[in-house]
């Protein structure tokens, strides 16, 4: 894996950790936070090719605060 992707992954995880609710993540448009088709998985983009996939264990009834579990670093598009 390229070092720039590793650096971007660490930076993104730190940004996720500093968020206080889901709105903070949505506001960071560069992350391109989205719910994946088929259910309970979400993703953020590291760049055009790489994305970080996660599950969120919601701890409030509004699905605005939760515990994020990183499940995969994947190549989504391209080579």
Per residue in 38-57, pLDDT (tens digit) is: 878 999 999 989 999 999 99
CB 53 within 8 A of CB 36: yes
Residue 3 burial (C-beta neighbours within 10 Å; 0-12, 13-18, 19+): exposed
Quick count: other Cβ atoms within 10 Å of Cβ 43?
Answer: 19
Confidence of residue 76 (pLDDT cuts 50, 70, 90): confident
pLDDT at 39: 76
- Averaged pLDDT for residues 52-79: 88
pTM, rounded to two decimals: 0.84
Per residue in 3-42, pLDDT (tens digit) is: 999 999 999 999 999 999 999 999 999 999 999 988 789 9
């Amino acid at each position: 894996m390229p070092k720039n992707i590793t650096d971007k992954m660490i930076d993104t995880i730190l940004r996720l950790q500093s968020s206080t609710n889901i709105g903070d993540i949505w506001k960071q448009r560069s992350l391109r936070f989205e719910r994946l088709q088929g259910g309970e998985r979400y993703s953020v983009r590291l760049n055009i090719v790489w994305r970080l996939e996660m599950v969120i264990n919601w701890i409030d009834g509004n699905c605005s605060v939760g515990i994020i579990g990183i499940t995969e670093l994947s190549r989504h598009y391209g080579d």
